[in-house]
Structure 1
Amino acid sequence: MRGRVGTAISHGDRVVARGFVERLAGRVMLLEGARRIVLTLAAGACAALALPPVDFPAAAFVAFPLLVWLLDGVGARPTLTRTLIADFAVGWLFGFGYFVAGLWWLGSAMLVNAAAFAVFIPFAVLGLPAILAIYFGLATVLARRFWGDTAFRILILAASFALLEYLRSFVLTGFPWNEIGVLAAPTPMLMQSVSLIGPHGLSLLAVFVFAAPAVLADRRHRMPVLTLAVLLVIAHVGYGYYRLAAHPTMFVDGIAVSVVQANIAQSDKFDEAAAQAIFARQIAVTEKGRESRRPAVENERGAGAAILDTRPRTKTLIVWPESSLPFVLTERPEAVARLAEMIQPGETLIAGAPRVEPMASGGERVYNSVLVIDDNGEIVDARDKVHLVPFGEYLPFERYLARYGIMNLTEMPGGFSAGTERRPIALDGAPSFLPLICYEVIFPSEIAASAAADRPGFIVNDTNDGWFGMTPGPYQHLRLAELSAVALGLPLVRAANTGISVVTDPYGREIDALALGATGTIEARLPAAAEPTPYSRLRNLPFFGLLAATFVFGVSVWLYVSRQTD
Structure 2
Amino acid sequence: MEWLSGRIMLLSGARRALLAFLAGLLTVLALPPFGIFAVPFLSFPVLVWLQDGASGNPDHGRLRRGFPAFAIGWCFGFGYFLGGLWWLGNALLIEADEFAWALPLAVLGLPAFLALYYGFAALVARMLWSDGLGRLAALALAFGLAEWLRGILLTGFPWNAVGYAAMPVPMMMQSAVIFGLAGMNMLSVFVFSAPALLGTRKGMGLGLSLAALLVVGHIGYGYWRLQEPAPTAPQPEQTVRLVQPVIDQAMKLDDAARAEIFTEHLELTAAAPADGAKRPDIIVWPETSVPFLLTENPDALASIADVLQDGQILIAGAVRAENAGAGLPPRYYNSVYVIDDRGQIVGAADKLHLVPFGEYLPFEDLLASAGLKAIAAAMPGGFSAAATRSMLTLPGGQVFYPLICYEAIFPNEVGNAALPASALLNVTNDAWFGDTPGPYQHFQQAQLRAVETGLPLVRGANSGISAVVNGLGEVVSGASFNVRGVVDTILPGKIMTPYDPGQQKRNAAIVAVMFLLVAGFSRGSFIFRVN
CA root-mean-square deviation: 1.7
* 2:472 aligned counterpart, secondary structure: coil
* 1:346 aligned counterpart, secondary structure: coil
Q: How far apart, CA to CA, are the structure 2 residues paired with 1:423 and 1:359? A: 20
Q: How far apart, CA to CA, are the structure 2 residues paired with 1:439 and 1:145? A: 35
Counterpart residue identity of residue 318, structure 1: I
Specify whether residues 509 and 249 from structure 1 end up closer, same or farther in structure 2 by C-alpha distance, changes over 3 A only. farther
Structure 1 position 225 matched with structure 2 position 207 = yes
1:372 alignment partner in structure 2: 338
2:371 alignment partner in structure 1: 405
Q: Deviation string for 1:109-147 (max 9, x for gaps)?
A: 001111101111111100000111111000010000010
Q: How far apart, CA to CA, are the structure 2 residues paired with 1:32 and 1:364? A: 58
Structure 1 position 503 matched with structure 2 position 485 = no
Q: How far apart, CA to CA, are the structure 1 residues paired with 2:349 and 2:368? A: 29
1:68 alignment partner in structure 2: 48
Q: How far apart, CA to CA, are the structure 1 residues paired with 2:295 and 2:88? A: 33
How far 1:346 moved relative to its partner? Answer: 2.2
Decide whether the 8 Å contact of 1:340 with 1:375 is kept in 2: yes
Aligned match of 1:477 in 442, 447, 452?
442
- Taking structure 2 as the reference length, what is the TM-score of the superposition? 0.96
Q: How far apart, CA to CA, are the structure 2 residues paired with 1:190 and 1:291? A: 34
How far 1:532 moved relative to its partner? Answer: 4.6
Q: Deviation string for 1:506-562 (max 9, x for gaps)?
A: 001111111111100001000101125434453422211221222123212221699
How far 1:191 moved relative to its partner? Answer: 0.4
Q: How far apart, CA to CA, are the structure 1 residues paired with 2:90 and 2:397? A: 39
Decide whether the 8 Å contact of 2:231 with 2:495 is kept in 1: no
1:435 alignment partner in structure 2: 402
Which piece of structure 1 moves more, 104-113 or 534-543? 534-543
2:219 alignment partner in structure 1: 237
Counterpart residue identity of residue 74, structure 2: W
Structure 1 position 420 matched with structure 2 position 405 = no
How far 1:165 moved relative to its partner? Answer: 0.4
1:351 alignment partner in structure 2: 316
Which piece of structure 1 moves more, 472-481 or 425-434? 425-434
Q: Deviation string for 1:47-74 (max 9, x for gaps)?
A: 1110100111211111100000000011
Q: How far apart, CA to CA, are the structure 1 residues paired with 2:319 and 2:198? A: 56
* 1:462 aligned counterpart, secondary structure: strand
Aligned match of 2:96 in 111, 114, 121?
114
Specify whether residues 154 and 336 from structure 1 end up closer, same or farther in structure 2 by C-alpha distance, changes over 3 A only. same
Q: How far apart, CA to CA, are the structure 2 residues paired with 1:561 and 1:171? A: 27
Aligned match of 2:266 in 283, 298, 321?
283
Structure 1 position 59 matched with structure 2 position 64 = no
Structure 1 position 526 matched with structure 2 position 463 = no
How far 1:426 moved relative to its partner? Answer: 1.5
1:493 alignment partner in structure 2: 458
What residue ranges of structure 1 are gaps of 5+ in the alignment? 1-20, 296-312
Q: How far apart, CA to CA, are the structure 1 residues paired with 2:522 and 2:204? A: 13
Specify whether residues 327 and 533 from structure 1 end up closer, same or farther in structure 2 by C-alpha distance, changes over 3 A only. farther
- Taking structure 1 as the reference length, what is the TM-score of the superposition? 0.90
Decide whether the 8 Å contact of 1:422 with 1:450 is kept in 2: no
Aligned match of 2:126 in 115, 128, 144?
144
* 1:252 aligned counterpart, secondary structure: coil
2:145 alignment partner in structure 1: 163
2:505 alignment partner in structure 1: 540
Specify whether residues 561 and 431 from structure 1 end up closer, same or farther in structure 2 by C-alpha distance, changes over 3 A only. closer
1:273 alignment partner in structure 2: 256
1:299 alignment partner in structure 2: none
Decide whether the 8 Å contact of 1:249 with 1:527 is kept in 2: yes
Counterpart residue identity of residue 458, structure 1: A
1:341 alignment partner in structure 2: 306
* 2:524 aligned counterpart, secondary structure: helix
Decide whether the 8 Å contact of 1:255 with 1:430 is kept in 2: no
Identity over aligned pairs, percent: 46
Decide whether the 8 Å contact of 1:445 with 1:540 is kept in 2: no
Decide whether the 8 Å contact of 2:520 with 2:526 is kept in 1: no
Decide whether the 8 Å contact of 2:56 with 2:66 is kept in 1: no
Structure 1 position 458 matched with structure 2 position 423 = yes
Decide whether the 8 Å contact of 1:487 with 1:533 is kept in 2: no
Aligned match of 1:101 in 83, 88, 103?
83
Counterpart residue identity of residue 525, structure 1: I
Aligned match of 2:433 in 468, 482, 489?
468
* 1:344 aligned counterpart, secondary structure: coil
Q: How far apart, CA to CA, are the structure 2 residues paired with 1:220 and 1:263? A: 55
Q: Deviation string for 1:451-494 (max 9, x for gaps)?
A: 25xx2010110000000000000000000000111111111110
Q: How far apart, CA to CA, are the structure 1 residues paired with 2:448 and 2:5? A: 35
Specify whether residues 115 and 517 from structure 1 end up closer, same or farther in structure 2 by C-alpha distance, changes over 3 A only. same
Aligned match of 1:259 in 232, 242, 249?
242
Larger Rg belongs to: 1
Q: Deviation string for 1:211-258 (max 9, x for gaps)?
A: 000011223221111111010001100110011102424323321100
Aligned residues: 523
